[in-house]
Amino acid sequence: MANPASSPLRPGAVIGILGGGQLGRMTAIAAAHLGYRSHVFCPDADAPATHVTSRATIAPYEDEAALAAFAAAVDVVTIEFENIPLTAAQFLAARVPFHPDPAILSICQNRLREKEFCGKIGVPTTRYTSVTDAASLAAAVADMGSPCVLKTAEMGYDGKGQVAIAADTDLGAAWAGMAQAATGAGAILERYVDFRLEVSVIVARGSDGARQTFVPVENQHKHHILDQTIVPARAPAKALDKAEGIARHMAAEIGLVGLLAIEMFVTGDGEVLVNELAPRPHNSGHWTLDACVTSQFEQLVRAIAGLPLGSTEPLADAVMKNLVGDDVASASTHLNDPRAKLHLYGKTEARPGRKMGHVTRINPKY
Ligand SMILES: Nc1ncnc2c1ncn2[C@@H]1O[C@H](COP(=O)(O)OP(=O)(O)O)[C@@H](O)[C@H]1O
Ligand SMILES: [Mg+2]
């Protein structure tokens, strides 16, 4: 059900952003375009989002005095990183409008809760089960059959905390490998999906219940990290319609105000299975900065500020490539392509696997 629309934030109001990474940085830039100020809260002094905001609180997410002062200094809070402690989100939500709701974060922080939620609202996923130790892993693999994928239930990203399981995998070692990344929240065993391609859909929903989806895009991963996003996705129209329908349905059912990114597998026979949710801007939506009427970051700001949502019509076909680790060394060569739009996140240290920037090649339709 739609909530009553709240009155829009006035120009000059302050948007609080939990998390200091590139997603927060690009959200703050979008907020500035609409006349808002941003105040970032994050633990790292040199975080990318702090470079573009005049206000930042550098403190641990557990620091209640800092959280209380932050709540008093902002008009609304959003997140750029869903793995902030839930207690911090709840603490803030009791003091200041907070979108998306902490209950949504709680679902998206845990792969088991995500898939249970999908099941509850009739959205298909791969077969899965909860595992809590090496013995329950062995029983689950015997029941499910291989291949399958073991993942830590919480705090996994970019393939961290995941182990592929084949018929001859040593399950004791697999459990130990996963447990290194686990946080004590247990694990999920998923049936391996022999997918044709991976797609994602980002959906925005305002406090009045209005929804807008960005077109489904195709995601290609390298070493479990997003490498390229191809716009639009090269999948049958029927599957893409299904993916968009799932996104719209999920946004309403989860009670979203803000953005929800949904990663999905499209199988050879056109089935669409939800893999993962992120209640925030998503790497696969960076192309919208350069090739869409409204960017995902502007859309987030509009949704949480009580403004009408913008059009999500694409202006061009596009391919977004992440610049990961050492890729950034040759970033300037992309500038030789006049249709390449380079975005660097201001990170000084190019550690392996670290997202340093991205480049979007656009192919305007006219
Ligand atoms: N059940 C699965 N079947 C096939 N491939 C999978 C499965 N789960 C994950 N993968 C592959 O691993 C990638 C990363 O997994 P994901 O669940 O998205 O975790 P994260 O992105 O948080 O690391 C996916 O994009 C996909 O390529
Ligand atoms: Mg993923």
Does the residue 83 lie in any domain? yes
Kindly give the number of the ligand 1 atom that is closest to the alpha carbon of 194: 4
- Pick the atom of ligand 1 nearest to 148's CA: 1
Ligand having the closest approach to the CA of 191: 1
Contacts of 257 (CB under 8 A, 6+ apart): 3, 99, 100, 101, 205, 206, 207, 303, 304
Residue 120 belongs to a domain: no
Residue 344, beta-bridge partner list: 357
- Residue 1 has a pLDDT of 37
221 shares its domain with 344: yes
Residues of the chain with pLDDT under 70: 1-6, 180-183
Of the candidates 238, 338, 247, which has an alpha carbon nearest to the alpha carbon of residue 296?
Answer: 247
Q: Examine the fold and report which residue of 176, 191, 206 is the final residue of a domain before the chain moves on.
A: 191
DSSP state of 365: -
Whether 82 and 27 share a structural domain: yes
Q: Are residues 317 and 211 in the same domain?
A: yes
Q: Which residue has its alpha carbon closest to ligand 1 atom 18?
A: 276
Residue given tokens 């932050």 in the structure block? 70
Same structural domain for residues 73 and 218? no
Tell me: do 141 and 283 sit in the same domain. Answer: no
Q: Is the Cβ–Cβ distance between 312 and 215 less than 8 Å?
A: yes
Closest-CA residue, ligand 1 atom 1, reads: 192
Residues 183 and 200 in one domain: no
219 and 350 housed in the same domain? yes
Q: Give the domain range for residue 178.
A: 127-191
Residue 207 makes CB contacts below 8 A (sequence gap 6+) with: 3, 4, 5, 6, 99, 257, 303, 306
Statement to judge: residues 184 and 51 lie in one domain:
no
pLDDT of residue 184: 76
CA of 208 to the centre of ligand 2 (A): 29
Backbone angles phi, psi at 274, to 5 degrees: -75, 130
Question: Separation of 321 CA from ligand 1 center, angstroms?
Answer: 19
CA of 226 to the centre of ligand 2 (A): 8
- Radius of gyration (Cα) for the chain, nearest Å? 20
pLDDT score at 302: 98
DSSP, residue by residue, 66-113: HHHHHHHH-SEEEES-TTS-HHHHHHHHTTS-BSS-HHHHHHHTBHHH
Residue 126 Cβ inside 6 Å of ligand 1? The answer reads yes
**Cα–Cα dist 209/32, whole Å:** 25
Q: How many domains are there within the chain?
A: 3
91 shares a domain with 23:
yes
Is the C-beta atom of 320 inside 6 A of ligand 1?
Answer: no
Backbone phi and psi for residue 213, each to the nearest 5 degrees, phi listed first:
-110, 145
- Give domain status of residue 238, yes or no: yes
Contacts of 116 (CB under 8 A, 6+ apart): none
CATH number at residue 168: 3.30.1490.20
Residue that the structure tokens 């970019």 belong to: 158
- Predicted local confidence at residue 365, as pLDDT: 76
Output the pLDDT for position 6.
62
In a domain, 25, yes or no: yes
Can you give the CATH number for the domain in which 69 is found? 3.40.50.20
Provide the CATH number for the domain around residue 355. 3.30.470.20
- Among residues 79, 108, 137, the one where a domain terminates is 108
Tell me the CA–centroid distance for residue 159 and ligand 1, in Å. Answer: 7
Q: Write the burial class of residue 125 (CB in 10 Å: 0-12 exposed, 13-18 middle, 19+ buried).
A: buried
Q: Give the count of beta carbons closer than 10 Å to the beta carbon of residue 167.
A: 8
- Of 203, 187, 214, 216, the C-alpha closest to 100 is 203
Q: Is residue 121 part of a domain?
A: no
Q: Is the CB of 150 under 6 A from ligand 1?
A: no
By three-state DSSP, how is residue 285 classified? helix
**Could you tell me how many residues make up the chain?**
366
Asked whether residue 142 is domain-assigned, the answer is: yes
Mutational test site, ligand 1, from 163, 223, 224, max ligand atoms within 8 Å of CB = 224
**Any domain includes 311:** yes
pLDDT at 349: 95
133 and 158 assigned to the same domain: yes
User: How far, in Å, from the CA of 141 to the mean position of ligand 1?
Assistant: 18
* 169 lies in the same domain as 103: no
- The answer to whether residue 70 is domain-embedded is yes
Is the bond preceding residue 100 a cis peptide, omega within 30 degrees?
A: yes
